[in-house]
Structure 1
Amino acid sequence: MGMRSVWTYRAVFVGLSAVYLFFALLPFGAGEGGLPGPDLIFCLTAAWILRRPDYVPFWLLLLVLLVADFLLMRPLGLWALIVLLVSEYLRRRVDHGEVLTFWSEVAMVSACVVAAVLADHVALMLLLAETPPLAGQGLHALATIVFYPATIVFSRMIGVRRLAPGELDSLGTRA
């Protein structure tokens, strides 16, 4: 697969993230007491990194996450840092020789979502910042976990797949 294809998928990742942010900013939210939606950027990041880490390089993910923090009025850089740490953990877990089963991947990413939400909550508490209710954050984590399998299926549909054994990615890493 050529470099042009890698850059195409990077542009698709940015485009999908922009579409998510556009709809997240629309005033059609559930309002106070409503159910929080999933973090689809987190879902896309995890699904794509576990399949093709070269499609979502660190610098691109940092840029997307900082823009998301800014637009969604979250503490600038905190959620971005947490998602970057999770993404690097997942990037290190990519073993091209041993492919995770669908449900074991969902379980691993679910644990990462829960850890990320708890880390965010604890960091906000330690910084003496206003923390959203833990129940609301739990529902946000649950929504993200529920949407993750659909994100995997969607990613496969648009061509984000694992490398075949012996195939090289754009970084020259052998599968």
Structure 2
Amino acid sequence: MAQRNVWGYRAVFALLSFVILFFALLPFGRSDGGVPGPDLMLCLACAWILRRPDYAPIWLLVPLVLLDDALLMRPLGVWTMVVMLATEYLRRRVDHTEAQTFSSEILIVSGLIAGTFVANHLVMLLLLAQTPPLIGQALHALVTIVFYPLTAIFSQLIGVRRLAPGELDSLGTRA
């Protein structure tokens, strides 16, 4: 029964990722001088991994972000690699975050989001790829940070909650 529940949440994660990607592809008429939208895929991945890492395994996350790279015409694999490293860092911290407050979670994820955007920019510079303006990237990171708490609250409302102390995940481990 628990294994079926995990697969249901994995399907919900994939469905939400596809919905985010669908809306990212729609031409909403954002002008070049406007504020960029948030990276909701990163927000969703961080929120779910901090709460239930077994609901967003790496083998599900990487293809979704890679598809995101391909369809949004970003350099293939660069953002995927950065997001994979960031989410794996969070996955390793799950045991340390079970007793932390929501505000400290937001601070940790905000720093991680800022770090992912900086790392992505640095990798793009090292690869001599065309990089977007730094101020645009900073705004994109800021908007993503602002949207993280909303994504975390939404995740909590649909049932993605942290494990209680002593509770085991679907694999029979602590997290």
Tell me the TM-score normalized by structure 1.
0.96
- In the alignment, structure 2 segments of 5+ residues that lack a partner are none
Give percent identity, aligned residues only. 65
Q: Residue 95 of structure 2: SS of its match in structure 1? A: coil
- Between the aligned partners of 1:116 and 1:47, the Cα distance in structure 2 is 15
TM superposition shift of 1:31: 2.4
Write the letter of the residue equivalent to 2:17.
S
- Between the aligned partners of 1:149 and 1:166, the Cα distance in structure 2 is 26
Please name the residue that 2:150 is paired with: 150
- Between the aligned partners of 1:100 and 1:73, the Cα distance in structure 2 is 37
Write the letter of the residue equivalent to 1:2.
A
Give yes or no for contact 1:20–1:41 (8 Å, CA) kept in 2: yes
Give yes or no for contact 1:96–1:163 (8 Å, CA) kept in 2: no
Tell me the TM-score normalized by structure 2.
0.96
TM superposition shift of 1:165: 1.7
Please name the residue that 2:119 is paired with: 119
C-alpha root-mean-square deviation of aligned residues, in Å? 1.3
Q: What CA deviation, in whole Å up to 9, does each residue of 1:93-118 have, x standing for no partner?
A: 01168422101000000000111000
**Pairs within 5 Å for 1:98-109:** 98-109=98-109
Please name the residue that 1:22 is paired with: 22
Write the letter of the residue equivalent to 1:107.
L
**Pairs within 5 Å for 1:63-82:** 63-82=63-82
Give yes or no for contact 1:82–1:116 (8 Å, CA) kept in 2: yes
Paired residues in the alignment total 175
Write the letter of the residue equivalent to 2:80.
A
Please name the residue that 1:92 is paired with: 92
